[in-house]
A and B are shown apart, each in its own frame.
Chain A
Amino acid sequence: MNFLFYAGKRFLQVIPALFGISIAVFFLVHLIPGDPADIILGQTATPARSKVIHHMLGIDRPIIVQYFSFLNHLFHGSLGKSYVNNLSVTKLILGRLSATAFLMCGGILLSLLISVPLAILAASKEGATRDQVVRVIPIVGLGMPQVWVGIELILLLGLKVHWFPVSGFGDSFLQHIRSTFLPALSIAIGLSPILIRSLRASMLEILEADFVLTAKAKGIGKMRVTLSHVVRNAIIASVTVLGVNIAYLVGSTVIVERVFAIPATGSLMIDAIATRDYPIVQGVTLFFAIVVVIVNLLADLIHAALDPRVAL
């Protein structure tokens, strides 16, 4: 019951966040200097034609009316149509969703596989050599540009030993996994320095917590204490830390997909810059912000499910 109450409360908090995002995206795009009619008509622009376009786009109305119309369309799942090919922006985004989902899930999975064991290893003996070694990783790793990590992975694991494809997304599920492995690894290597640092701190806190001391005092083996008491809490801590850094992770997919020429949602946006296709830029910006809010919500709900104290 407590969990349901918490979930309901947390759902309600999403509403003002989404509202804020819609305002931010709407005004961000409406700050653009220049007339969209000129972009659509190009060389053929005349005042009369521009006026028709203004009316078609609805931008001859007061800005506040435009905002509510934008909001109304949004509620019906419509993000407008591309200026270039007149396709629905929602459909364009949905068409690229699976590639983005593969990158995000792969990135999350691999960064946990890298950072959780290292954080536990480091925290298991504070100040020991292994701790010192693990602590150097974030210091060196933080400065590694993900595009660069991607290119080095292409060189070492793609071109030298041919273990993984170096570009594209493949056609089947297994090919998708193989194709997104290196990009997901680049994302994970970029994210891990941040995760390791926070997780090590949480681990140290957990290892000094009363329940761990009690378990140790009872004479329970070190291995069992680590597995049953510490790892469970480590997972909880990872969910929280991932939730905090989810915007960073989502942003990483946008640049890394470019290195590996994967046709995911970020490329849709980057390509739209050259064609001045602003319904797409607006739609994708909104889409990514909503993804962050939803993943954050999920992280909080998982956290509450694993750790009942949160819902109290």
Chain B
Amino acid sequence: MSTTLIRGKSLTGRLKFKGNGSFYLGIGIISLLVIIAAAAPLISHYDPTGQDLLNTLVPPSRHHWLGTDQLGRDVFTRIIYGARIDLTIGFAAVLLPFILGTTLGLVSGWFGGWFDSLLMRIVDTTIAFPFYVLAIALVFIVGPGPKAIILAITLVGWVAYCRIIRAAVLVAKELDYVHAAKLSGLPTARILRKHLLPNVISQAIIFSMSDIVLSILAIVSLGYLGLGVPIPTAEWGSMIQEGQAYILQQWWIPTIPGVMVVITGFGLSLIGDGLVRRLNK
């Protein structure tokens, strides 16, 4: 009983949703996309990289729901297999910056001092680099592929979480429940983890929703530039790039992968907005 008082409202208590339809719509959209991606081999019996040079650029039909591309690969199959790549890397890429930024922000905000000053200078330097420029430089260094994408997103992405958490800690550490925890002689690590973290992390979780969208956009854009996941793997960005040449005859080939990104972004934004509305109540 006493600990609940000191900690304030628990995270799960605050994340209970009532009458927040768009939030559930967002959850629904994202779950559906995840299921489609996971069940891709069950939905389509085509190989996403299997070429059929006798049936290139055929229009949509009963056999090929979205037609085939310039190498005779089934476009629908490539789109659902592409969801696997783009969603997996998109979610995974945000994990590391989330953990790194949150930890650094928590420590920096709590202790302050020289560590905080140094960290803020590093933050200032990092935000001067446009993401895509840094990503291209990293692809140059480590070579194209998921590794470079995740590295680039981590190097740039932690800053946002660090700033959000640090700002929240600066406010929260002056609140009564933190003072109470301090006075009761709890070790610092415990106060940070059990008392401060659950109360400051919500803003970071909200931000992570749009951050996943941004990281999927990064994968798609780098894929388009030929610096992302190497071809012939089915990936939305490289599909857009390959389809660009056939846009007058087969506009849907580059269009549908983009629509998939928009739908993913829509779902995640709805979840993010739902979280904001719930937490601001």
Contacts and interface: CB of A to CB of B under 8 A. Distances in A.
Interface residues of A: mostly helix, strand, loop or mixed?
helix
B218 to A, nearest CB: 9
A107 B254 CA distance: 23
A112 interface: no
Contact of B247 (A154, A254, A269): A154
Interface in A1-52: 16-17, 20-21, 23-24, 28-29, 31-33
A191 to B, nearest CB: 12
Given A20-B122, A142-B213, A154-B247, A270 B225 contact: yes
A204 interface: no
Contact of A247 (B128, B141, B265): B128
Interface in B188-224: 210, 213, 216-217, 220-221, 224
Given A143-B217, A145-B258, A148-B220, A32 B129 contact: no
Question: What band does the interface of chain B fall in when counting residues whose beta carbon is under 8 Å from A?
Answer: 35 or more
Interface residues of A, number: 51
Contacts of B77: none
Contact of A148 (B140, B254, B263): B254
B237 interface: yes
A250 interface: yes
A142 B134 contact: no
Interface in B245-280: 247-248, 251, 254-255, 257-258, 261-266, 268-270, 273
Interface stretch (A87-95, A171-179, A231-239, A282-290): A282-290
A158 to B, nearest CB: 10
A147 B221 contact: yes
Contacts of B257: 148
B132 A251 contact: yes
B262 A285 contact: no
Given A142-B265, A145-B217, A148-B220, 19 more contacts: A20-B125, A139-B266, A139-B273, A140-B262, A143-B216, A143-B265, A145-B240, A145-B261, A152-B255, A155-B247, A159-B247, A159-B248, A251-B130, A251-B133, A255-B132, A259-B244, A270-B225, A284-B133, A293-B128
Interface of B: 121-122, 124-134, 136-141, 210, 213, 216-217, 220-221, 224-225, 227, 237, 240-241, 244, 247-248, 251, 254-255, 257-258, 261-266, 268-270, 273
